[in-house]
Chains A and B, each alone.
Chain A
Amino acid sequence: MALLEVEELQTHFFTSAGIVRAVDGVSYTVEEGETVAVVGESGCGKSVSALSILRLIPWPPGRIVGGSIRFMGRDLLGLSDAEIRQVRGRDIGMVFQEPMTSLNPVLTIGRQLTEPLEAHLDKNDQQARERALELLRLVGISDPQRRLGQYPHHLSGGMRQRVMIAMALACEPKLIIADEPTTALDVTIQAQILELMKDLTQRLGVALVIITHNLGVVARYADRVNVMYAGRIIETGSARDIYHDPRHPYTLALLRSVPRLDQPRRARLDPVEGQPPDLTRLDGGCPFRPRCRYAIQRCATDYPPLMETGPGHRSACWRKDDLEPPLRKAS
């Protein structure tokens, strides 16, 4: 049994402009201790699919309208409010994108760090404090004693994200969901934070779902990769598969839009042309086809399901076997 099994998840937003199908039938699994990356452009539904796991989508306007999410065999969507609260922070920790705004500005670091301990592990003040110190040391924050009494505005962005990670790890969860954990940080800090997360999750045996639009992150840190487009997973496979043998034109386009060290220096970067589709008006066909140079007649009428292209590697493209390799000659 996988640690997390997401099946046909559908999260829609009911807005005045119509129903936004932000997540529209997403299925994937996360094994214990595994690192899974979810990649895609802004607005492809990757954050919404992550927030849906802990049922953190605010209603109104958002709501999970279909599918199931099983964590250690329990259906999270069927739990009562009190039961899902027990899962949040204790079994599954979350790290958010913006460390600047994700910590409460008027509460001390200590207060915010000890909260999950008091909520889930029944620790008293003294024990919670000790654990908080231990956690701060774990995430590499210097002078933890002093930090406990400080407020978020005393800390740099990287430090705050370390605090967020410490908070997510507080109750020794089985899974951490990190929603673009490094997007808001300086490039030099990004690597530090990712190393820290990789190191800690490996050391503590925690599974990690990392949401990102950074393909570099994927290559280095993920065991498995789910590429999302317009609310669905369009390709899934090992990091190696995705990098060296992409089987979906969108994945291919993404790879060609970022510079790579293994490319000749004069290779041109190709941006992914066009805009992501309007999620309120999807038709039955493949949503990527207006931007796809491989599109054929069939793409307009039939939505391609995820089809096996190799062991553990699946793609939702009718022309998955006709794609060029990702490496190009210098122009």
Chain B
Amino acid sequence: MWQYTFKRLLLTIPTLFGAALLVFFLLRLIPGDICMVRLGGTGALVDPAQIEQCRVELGLDKPVILQFFAWIGGFFVFDLGTSMWTGRPISEEIGLRFALSLQIAVMATIISILIAIPLGTISAVKQDTWIDYVVRVISIGGIAIPSFWLGIVIILGLLIVTQNWFGEPWMPPINYRPIWEDPAHNLAQTIWPALAIGYRYAAVATRMTRSTLLEVLREDYVRTARAKGLVEHLIINRHALRNALLPVITIIGIEFAFLMGGLVVTEQVFNLNGIGKLLVQSVSQNDYTMTQALVMLVVIVFVLSNFVVDLAYAWLDPRIRYR
């Protein structure tokens, strides 16, 4: 297992390097120039000398290859550089937003696992009964309803319910405080987006759990378990679920990585300053350094969550462990 972990970890290095290469050079293919955007934003005529000076300041006059290695080099000392737009260190700009996005992603994942696995299991075990139909309606609803729309409904619902029950409307707090500073305030703000996102996420995972479990329940070894006279919950939990969870974990891993940076609209609805919003902003401003840093961040989350998924696979399935 240790050997597998180590090998798998080594494999992340070329992946990250390849991603960095792509991100860096693709960005520079996008037409437009940050200095033009920054100085010419108001539509005024700009002196070419001024633009040139701006490019020198930002290091854009150097050969691209040198810029690339300077940027990569920064990674090794945890220096992401400064934003070309605001001039502030990127790590500072990203810090809290990353914490927020990560927290919501983790919360949504926990919510979805807690919902999806029991619901998917019961739906498969009670296939074609009313329980199964209810679960299927719920999960198809989750896939069909966009998270941001559900977010709007949640906010409106909160307002109406609190108005009716307590006489005055209550809204989740708008300003972000880290969970380690003020947990109650933090959770009051983050639980709603986590629910809105978690529902869709849970719906996808529920359907996956249901369909793979249905498949596994027809396997010969499940029949063997039954022929041994085991009680049903042991057959499901020990024999079937462990095999059925493998693809579900893949889905959870991909969804989790997607939540980091892919939640632009939902963040907008809940007025959250997350990674998604920042990414859209930085792309439209041609802020190379910021975009690069954010995309790489998302890539790292993807690679790491895939790594965790692979470890979970190896833990669940001994055939992978020994290969």
Query: Chain A interface (Cβ within 8 Å of chain B)?
Result: 54, 56, 58, 60, 85-90, 93-94, 96, 98, 101-107, 115-116, 119-120, 151, 153, 164, 167
| A102: B residues at CB distance < 8 A | 220-221, 223-224
A31 to chain B minimum Cβ distance, whole angstroms, is 23
Can you list 11 A-B pairs, Cβ within 8 angstroms, ordered by A?
A88-B226, A88-B229, A94-B227, A96-B220, A103-B221, A105-B317, A106-B243, A115-B225, A116-B230, A119-B231, A167-B228
B246 to chain A minimum Cβ distance, whole angstroms, is 9
CB-contact partner of A153 in B225, B242, B318, under 8 A: B318
Interface membership of B210, Cβ < 8 A: no
A164 to B223, CA, bound (A): 13
The answer to whether A98 touches B229 (Cβ under 8 A) is no
Interface membership of B200, Cβ < 8 A: no
Interface membership of B316, Cβ < 8 A: yes
Interface membership of B319, Cβ < 8 A: yes
| A115: B residues at CB distance < 8 A | 225, 228, 230, 234
CB-contact partner of A88 in B218, B221, B227, B316, under 8 A: B227
Residue in B226, B239, B243, B322 with the greatest tally of chain A CB atoms within 10 Å: B226
A102 to B228, CA, bound (A): 12
Interface residues on B, range: 20 to 34
A30 to B234, CA, bound (A): 32
The answer to whether B228 touches A101 (Cβ under 8 A) is no
Residue in A58, A96, A98, A115 with the greatest tally of chain B CB atoms within 10 Å: A115
Closest A residue to B216 by CB, please name it. Answer: A104
The answer to whether B319 touches A151 (Cβ under 8 A) is yes
The answer to whether B227 touches A104 (Cβ under 8 A) is no
A236 to chain B minimum Cβ distance, whole angstroms, is 26
Q: Give 9 nearest A-B pairs by CB, closest first.
A: A88-B229, A89-B229, A89-B228, A101-B220, A104-B221, A94-B227, A102-B220, A116-B228, A151-B318
| B228: A residues at CB distance < 8 A | 88-89, 115-116, 119, 167
Closest A residue to B232 by CB, please name it. Answer: A81
| B319: A residues at CB distance < 8 A | 105-106, 151, 153
| B224: A residues at CB distance < 8 A | 94, 96, 102-104, 164, 167
Residue in B227, B316, B318 with the greatest tally of chain A CB atoms within 10 Å: B227
The answer to whether A89 touches B239 (Cβ under 8 A) is no
Closest B residue to A60 by CB, please name it. Answer: B128
The answer to whether A54 touches B220 (Cβ under 8 A) is no
Task: Knowing A102-B221, A104-B243, A106-B243, say if A85 contacts B231 (CB, 8 Å).
Answer: yes
Q: A89-B230, A94-B227, A105-B319 are in contact. List 17 more A-B contacts (CB 8 A).
A: A54-B227, A56-B226, A87-B229, A89-B229, A90-B229, A94-B224, A98-B220, A101-B221, A103-B224, A104-B221, A104-B224, A104-B243, A105-B221, A106-B319, A107-B239, A107-B242, A153-B318
A325 to B56, CA, bound (A): 104
| A167: B residues at CB distance < 8 A | 224, 228
A60 to B218, CA, bound (A): 12
Interface membership of B28, Cβ < 8 A: no
A93 to B227, CA, bound (A): 7
CB-contact partner of B242 in A88, A89, A106, under 8 A: A106
A5 to chain B minimum Cβ distance, whole angstroms, is 21
Interface membership of B215, Cβ < 8 A: no
A89 to B235, CA, bound (A): 14
| B226: A residues at CB distance < 8 A | 56, 88
A310 to B260, CA, bound (A): 80
CB-contact partner of B238 in A56, A107, A116, A151, under 8 A: A107
A54 to B228, CA, bound (A): 10
A91 to B227, CA, bound (A): 11
| A116: B residues at CB distance < 8 A | 228-230
The answer to whether A104 touches B239 (Cβ under 8 A) is yes
| A54: B residues at CB distance < 8 A | 227
| B221: A residues at CB distance < 8 A | 101-105
Interface membership of B93, Cβ < 8 A: no
Within 8 A of A (CB), among B229-267: 229-231, 234, 238-239, 242-243
Interface membership of B219, Cβ < 8 A: yes
Residue in B220, B221, B229, B230 with the greatest tally of chain A CB atoms within 10 Å: B229
| A104: B residues at CB distance < 8 A | 221, 224-225, 239, 243
The answer to whether A120 touches B229 (Cβ under 8 A) is yes
Task: Knowing A88-B229, A115-B225, say if A58 contacts B218 (CB, 8 Å).
Answer: yes
A116 to B231, CA, bound (A): 10
Closest B residue to A92 by CB, please name it. Answer: B227
| B219: A residues at CB distance < 8 A | 101
